[in-house]
Structure 1
Amino acid sequence: MRNVKSIYIAKGLVDMMPLNLAVLPWGILCGSLSIQRDFTALEALLMPLLVFAGAVQLVAIELIAGNASLATILLTTFIISSRHFLYGLTLRERMKNLPKKWRFPLGFLLTDELFAFSGHRRSYQNKNRLYYALSAGGSFYVTWFIWNLMGVLAGALLPDLTQLGLDFAIAVTFIALVIPGIKNLAILITVIVSGVLATIFHLWQWQMALIFASLGGMAAGYLVFQWQHGSKSVNKGTR
């Protein structure tokens, strides 16, 4: 039994390793940006330890440095993180009967990356698969902190790292997460429409561009999904 458990733990580490490495520039950017925006080293390191959300970290750092109001910071970070609510709803049926000692740590570790690993129908269905998820998510948490730590050190010793284009790592990471999930026409339409709208709204300099693009993409994907299932129903009825 221990050997099986060790195999699942090792597999979680190995499977998450490419994504752990992919977010290295992103983590360094978060850490260095904190220092360059006059955060203390302790404050900069508490971000990955307590917040553990790359996009939220970057936005919160800029808002705090710009003396934004607490309400603005909370509302903005809430909107950016709202997708995690959908992640939780998606996995609720699989995890609702787990004891709190499993649900709480897995809920904290449920990043975009771990959710991308949760598509298998048997995810979280037995103890070994729980160890797999905990290993994958835990390794991402540890490496994310290490990359941020490197960024904090680099931010104190080197020139402004924000000019090196490290933020491109954010786009690359999400592209790597999204592409394998395009498994049908509805999802493909969702991705295309979201991308096109995000580009257009960004050019128009809309502050809520990402949110509107996401809603537009989801609406388009839902319409295609309904159309596909409606067509199937009609075809079955004519046979």
Structure 2
Amino acid sequence: MNSSSRAILKGFLDMLPLCLAVIPWGVLCGSLAIQNGFSALETQAMSLLVFAGSVQLVAIELVAGNTPLLTILFTSFIISSRHFLYGLAVRHKVIEQPLRWRLPVSFVLTDELFAFSHHRKAYRTKIRLIYALSAGFSFYIAWNLWTLIGIVAGSMLPDLTHLGLDFAIAATFIALVIPGIKNLASLVTVIVAGVSATVFKSSGFELWLVCAALLAMSAGYLTTRVTRNKDSNQ
């Protein structure tokens, strides 16, 4: 087995646990869309083209609730904006690579692949690019497969939302976020996000997710500024 084949296999195997972890999430996404009036083609196309589980689930709920288009677009933009930050974070690692490498990497740069991107040599060589694309596209294929299963399940079985599958969303993000809490600012951001989202959601506020995210980012930024000022004065 040559180095490229080993990189493909390793990327697939490293991503496999996360591919399996989002089975409930993907099934829920597919079945929820079907049960809210989306066609099978529309549901699968959303996973093929959007490829963002949190945005898909929120958009499905908003569309089903006859939410104004501007609110749907704005909410989706805010939720997806983290991918812009992911791109900025890895830009210096891929900027010297040809466009034929950068474009597919940018497409599969999800939360899961970004969690693999912290190694100092990530994306810097052909073998590491092959590894990243193997991991990213294996997750893409898995996500679309779970969506398809959800479409079938949503068409044949009763409402699956009562089975608690949506907990997979929280569980997956907890597993991704917790290892990233390495300083006070990130801890404050996570706490403020969780508390404010809970309060806003329970109060019935329509833009609860957007406002919680903005509030958490602001709290994290202010904490960083205060911490730096204290360090500089010591």
What is the TM-score when the length of structure 1 is the normalising length? 0.90
CA RMSD, Structure 1 to Structure 2 (Å): 1.8
- Report how far residue 224 of structure 1 moved: 2.8
Which residue is equivalent to 2:124? Answer: 125
- Report how far residue 88 of structure 1 moved: 1.4
Alignment partners' CA distance in 1, 2:222 and 2:61: 37
Q: Percent identity?
A: 61
Alignment partners' CA distance in 2, 1:221 and 1:68: 30
Could you say what secondary structure the match of 1:183 adopts? coil
Could you say what secondary structure the match of 2:165 adopts? coil
In 1, are the aligned partners of 2:33 and 2:43 still within 8 Å (CA)?
Answer: yes
Give deviations 1:20-63, integer Å, cap 9, x for gaps.
11110010011111221222222221111111111121222233
Could you say what secondary structure the match of 2:2 adopts? helix
The structure whose Rg is larger is: 1
Q: 1:37 to 1:199 in 2, by over 3 A?
A: closer
Stretches of structure 1 that go unaligned for 5 or more consecutive residues are: none
In 1, are the aligned partners of 2:21 and 2:172 still within 8 Å (CA)?
Answer: yes
2:98 maps to 1:138 = no
| Letter of the structure 2 residue corresponding to residue 42 of structure 1 | L
- Report how far residue 201 of structure 1 moved: 2.2
Alignment partners' CA distance in 2, 1:61 and 1:158: 19
Give deviations 1:146-191, integer Å, cap 9, x for gaps.
1011111111111111121111111111101001111222212221
**Stretches of 4+ moved more than 6 A in 1?**
none
Q: 1:234 to 1:62 in 2, by over 3 A?
A: closer
Give deviations 1:132-151, integer Å, cap 9, x for gaps.
11011111000001101111
Q: 1:5 to 1:35 in 2, by over 3 A?
A: same
What is the TM-score when the length of structure 2 is the normalising length? 0.91
Give deviations 1:51-81, integer Å, cap 9, x for gaps.
1111121222233334444434323322221
Which residue is equivalent to 1:202? Answer: 201
Q: Pairwise mapping of residues 137-176 of structure 1 onto structure 2 (< 5 A)?
A: 137-176=136-175
Alignment partners' CA distance in 1, 2:219 and 2:40: 44
Which residue is equivalent to 2:56? Answer: 57
Give deviations 1:78-134, integer Å, cap 9, x for gaps.
222121111112222222222121111111111111111112222111111111110
